[in-house]
Chain A
């Protein structure tokens, strides 16, 4: 469940649907584990130039990365891939909902919608139409630490997409009508995804508000309806001037293109956009958690109880962080995982569990305090404590984790990483490159991730589990179902 410009169009299925009913899977609760927003259900696609020796290729699959900066500070990442005659243009701005203005909850996302409402050379609907009429798809989304905009175009329309992204980076031309219209659209987005939906907002939107202490991590990212209503054109203008500058952004191009041409056009369309003085970043750190927190939330639309359990993550890019990536695989990913085996197979408490690091993306695309979380729906005759006992038992087993377990987790991580590198028509790769450029100034990290995971020993796993998966570091949120009760 991303907060984004437009939803997956269930009708416009990029994959022909031959079955008439939507999937019956249990993931009503919006599992996002590897997530990239896009139209419909997209599976893992292929990628660049042929490499032989299948077995070695598995260990040495490398993504081409060219990285530089324009004089105005705009970061540029190019990664050619001739698999399909298409090209991804992705612009990521270093502004997420975490640090939006305090009296304007939901504004980062509302603003994302404004980026489709008109710029100097493209009036309302003209950006969308330009992309679609040239045979492309597009979307945008707002996350913890960035807002992104991307197009997947036929390869020969690269210049068109670059021109259009530059046009809206230069400035917006928004009217009060446009703003009012999108306030209506966004309020409907909140209603369809949260207010009129059983388990709406659970746990992806709710848990950060319960688990975190610092306002930046703990406010309602979708926004209170009143705050959304009070946004005005002055806010739009100020937000754009503050955050939407080339020195606060990265442009990533992935797909079937010639590097010299791409560079020429990027220079031509983006170089003249002036950089700006960026505000200093607020303190988004979370105080260490010292006691278990437990909350109940009444849900007037839900029929069954549900529980989410969240632990505060170690800092990004530390050995403990990579260890948590492996622990996530062992505990919650796939039907072989400990929580699945215990809660689904052995106890029958639930039909499936969701879990992961960063429910609004994946373990790579954020830059601040984060949670590892798992959640499930269960029957009212089961007590939450008996579910928690299974969490505790699974975590306790990490104390005897073997090298074989670590190897298994690494294979799962690698397979999952390949899905991102090849997946979503190149958007998965563009996402990692953009985030590593934006947060670490090092998009080439994409090729060393597996090495980092391989450094993790059973000992580090044990230590990490002890330090971070302790009950005093967790927050429990229980949905109290009130459907049909007044």
Chain B
């Protein structure tokens, strides 16, 4: 009874759309001009760079002090020593303790954040406009005159250990750690997590030494973006930072990522999903083909409408959250597709991913499909430059990778100059499925079975 009714419903909807001529969406009008917000850059005699951008009308400002050091400068038995150094810097300066800083910055409507990444340590805050100069002074004090209170070291080490334990329980993190260790091997980029023993071994002396070796004016850029009094902020930066030591030159050891078709599995018995990462080293932003590679990535798996997502999510329903991305380091990069796939469909999902890669290698996309992706990438570029945080990220990106300003100013033009043939060529040259490292985190018993089937069917092809 119910079945009949359902059939009727389907019939009714289909009937409705067949009868009526489908309307075409209105085109819209002509595009408005988009200009990148103007920036003013300067350099102090000690080598510190400043970049100021006035943006928007909301009375707030973002100030970021970005230092070109991070996990990349840790040796083999020092993983997260950079994080611990950053966290201890946040504990106070020679004249203000943590509580005083926290309270002061709160009265400005913000708080101080310190984060240590692979390549950069960022000390930042976002406050009401009128407090911009005061925030600059506090951030300068934190990076130049950290108190490094020994009394706080054990607590911060214990926090890192807890964080380590919690993070290592997350399947996506397990997959990332494995993937990076295979591709980047002995380079710091391949050391995603420390051991508890490592953290235990860190002393105040090693923290001080990491700071002394890696932090200084030459490695530092100060960004102020938002709405603020320019003269006051410029003054505050000069006054606060001019006495700082030059410190070390910028120096990033360049990794040599490896291509290997290794398959690695991490067992999570009875896991309802498999976390899949499949990918390989690729070209970095300093390469002239980087932008065509980005466009190709966006079409293949990097946007919601992309081929892989349309296939394994919107057609097959194997997963909720697939995406592909290019992940950059200094003069190196990796491309990968990542997805959490229903356990029983892991093999099938991999088949579909490989199918989509091969399809793009064997025939160029239609001009319409490519045009859609180009419009999307151009639209995203406008959004990337439409917030203070986004603007800082863009400027930091070209600074970190040593790119010309034209990387940003010509970007939209360059997006549109990519041809369908170029996309096919990029897919052929950079997405060789047989060279890809595959990491699976899931129910090993079930996966072993599926991987055998997958190998068999790959061979048939």
Q: Which residues of A contact B (CB under 8 A)?
A: 6-7, 9-26, 28, 41-51, 54-55, 57-58, 61, 83-86, 120-122, 124-125, 128-130, 132-137, 152-160, 163-164, 167, 172-176, 180-189, 191-192, 195-199, 232-234, 237, 256, 301-304, 334-336, 340-341, 344-345, 348, 350-351, 377-379, 408, 411-412, 414-416, 418-419, 421-423, 425, 483
Contact = CB atoms under 8 A, between A and B. Distances in A.
Interface of B: 2, 5-6, 9-10, 13-14, 16-17, 20, 22-23, 25-34, 55-60, 62, 70-71, 83, 98-99, 102-103, 105-112, 115-120, 126-130, 155, 158-160, 162-163, 165-171, 176, 180, 189, 192, 226-229, 268, 271-273, 298, 301-305, 310, 313-321, 323-325, 327-329, 338, 340-342, 371-373, 375-376, 378-380, 382-390, 392-394, 396-397, 400-401
A10 B173 CA distance: 13
B62 A188 contact: no
B166 A86 contact: no
Contacts of A163: 25-26
A377 B17 CA distance: 53
Contact of A9 (B16, B58, B107, B323): B323
B372 A184 contact: no
Contact of B129 (A15, A54, A156): A54
A11 B120 contact: no
A408 B106 contact: yes
B318 A133 contact: no
Contact of B303 (A132, A187, A303, A419): A132
16 contacts: A14-B384, A15-B389, A18-B400, A21-B192, A26-B163, A44-B388, A45-B386, A58-B128, A61-B58, A85-B33, A134-B28, A137-B380, A187-B342, A191-B272, A192-B273, A303-B165
A10 B325 contact: yes
B47 to A, nearest CB: 20
B99 A154 contact: no
A19 B329 CA distance: 7
A380 to B, nearest CB: 10
Contacts of B126: 43-44, 415, 419
Nearest to A50: B57
Given A21-B118, A188-B317, A415-B128, 10 more contacts: A43-B388, A45-B386, A122-B25, A181-B315, A188-B320, A189-B320, A196-B268, A377-B166, A411-B108, A425-B383
Contacts of A136: 376, 379
A352 to B, nearest CB: 8
A418 B129 CA distance: 11
A68 to B, nearest CB: 22
A160 B27 contact: yes
A11 B325 contact: yes
Contact of A130 (B16, B25, B105, B129): B25
Question: Which of B58, B298, B301, B323: most chain A Cβ within 10 A?
Answer: B58
B162 A377 contact: yes
A85 B383 CA distance: 9
B387 A423 contact: yes
A133 B376 contact: yes
Contacts of A20: 117-119, 180, 189, 327-329
B273 A42 contact: no
Contacts of B396: 16, 18
Contacts of B301: 11
B128 A17 contact: no
A183 B109 CA distance: 44
A379 B25 CA distance: 57
B58 A418 contact: yes
B364 to A, nearest CB: 18
Which residue, of B5, B321, B373, B396, has the highest number of chain A Cβ atoms within 10 A?
B321
Contacts of A24: 83, 115-116, 163, 167
A415 B127 contact: yes
A282 to B, nearest CB: 26
B325 A336 contact: no
Given A184-B342, A336-B111, A174 B13 contact: yes
B302 A12 contact: yes
A233 B327 CA distance: 41
Given A160-B25, A408-B107, A188 B318 contact: yes
B237 to A, nearest CB: 18
Contacts of A421: 58
Contacts of B320: 6-7, 185-186, 188-189, 191-192
Given A18-B328, A233-B10, A379-B162, A84 B386 contact: yes
B109 A135 contact: no
B372 A57 contact: no
A173 B22 CA distance: 12
A351 B393 contact: no
B310 A125 contact: yes
B351 to A, nearest CB: 17
Given A26-B163, A192-B273, A379-B158, A16 B384 contact: yes
A132 B99 CA distance: 46
A319 to B, nearest CB: 23
A234 B17 contact: no
B397 A196 contact: no
B289 to A, nearest CB: 17
A10 B320 CA distance: 13
A329 to B, nearest CB: 9
Given A43-B390, A304-B166, A408-B106, A61 B59 contact: yes
Contacts of A41: 389
B168 to A, nearest CB: 8
Contact of A44 (B58, B378, B380): B58
B328 A181 contact: no
Contact of B28 (A57, A156, A414, A415): A156
B111 A137 contact: no
B394 A16 contact: yes
Nearest to A232: B6
A348 B327 CA distance: 35
Contacts of A13: 325
Given A133-B375, A184-B342, A19 B5 contact: no
Contact of B9 (A233, A344, A415): A233
Contacts of B33: 85
A404 B338 CA distance: 50
A334 B323 contact: no
Nearest to A189: B320
A6 B16 CA distance: 29
